[in-house]
Amino acid sequence: MKRILLLITVLLAIFIITGCGDNKAAKASQTPQQTAQQINPNSKTLVVYFSMPETTTPENMTQEEDNSTVVKNNKVLGNTQFMAETIANTIGADTFRIVPINPYPTDHKVLIAQAKEEQNQNARPKYEGTVPNLADYDTIFIGYPNWWGDMPMILYTFLENNKMDGKTIIPFGTHGGSGFSNTVNTIQQLQPNAKMFRNGLMISRNDIQNGESAITNWLEGLGYAK
């Protein structure tokens, strides 16, 4: 009888120890992004973005200029700018545009070369101003074009300058075929204590001119009322 009792006690101990151990391991490996799928559409929200339209005039655009712009009511917007403005207007959020202190060239070839050089140098281009009252925001949409399979380096400057601990980050942007590349992981690395939302929206430059409904449908799916 004693033996049986001892055996039951040992088995129970093993069950409890291994059971608890697994549970602890699961909790420890839960990164912030896994717990951040919950978006609160009623929280105070900011849309931060960088965008580089390669022209300001709607007439006689080259293919490259056309690729990087959306024209609405004869107004020229960058692709990501259009996305940012659509998001902000739809959900009633504030915006902060990351504007480089040294403007980028609009000539496509020169821009491409400069962006590559900045990436090679691991540069931190400076931008104008600061976000007013960043602490007040709970949810931050961050938008950018894919440049050379990454975020433009000025996004690194921004993300290193602004701590977003505890805030929910929702990434979005536009691209020419590469989608997000690895940028969502990079943002999480730069903001380890933010709750990174993994299902952001990247729209191809080919679809952005008529992309409004894709954006509003996505927002609706996140819980934002239409």
Ligand X SMILES: Cc1cc2nc3c(=O)[nH]c(=O)nc-3n(C[C@H](O)[C@H](O)[C@H](O)COP(=O)(O)O)c2cc1C
33 in Cβ contact with 198 (< 8 Å) = yes
Query: Quick one: 103 or 177, whose CB is closer to ligand X?
Result: 177
Return the residues of window 54-73 that contact ligand X according to CB under 6 A: 67-68
> Which among 19-27, 90-98, 130-138, 169-177 is the span making contact with ligand X, rule CB under 6 A?
169-177
177 binds ligand X (CB under 6 A): yes
How far is 185 from 174, CA to CA, in rounded Å?
17
In angstroms, what CA-CA distances link 28 with 25, 70, 167?
5, 45, 20
Among positions 111, 123, 134, 222, the unique one binding ligand X when judged by CB under 6 A: 111
209 binds ligand X (CB under 6 A): no
> Do β-strands 139-145 and 168-175 pair in parallel, antiparallel, or remain unpaired?
parallel
How far is 159 from 157, CA to CA, in rounded Å?
6
Tally of CB atoms within 10 A around 59: 8
Among positions 98, 115, 159, 169, the unique one binding ligand X when judged by CB under 6 A: 115
> Which among 33-41, 128-136, 175-183, 209-217 is the span making contact with ligand X, rule CB under 6 A?
175-183
Query: Quick one: 167 or 173, whose CB is closer to ligand X?
Result: 173
For residue 33, give every residue at least 6 positions away whose Cβ sits within 8 Å of its Cβ, in sequence order, or none: 188, 195, 196, 197, 198
Interface ranges with ligand X (CB under 6 A) = 51-53, 67-68, 78-81, 111-112, 115, 145-149, 174-178, 205
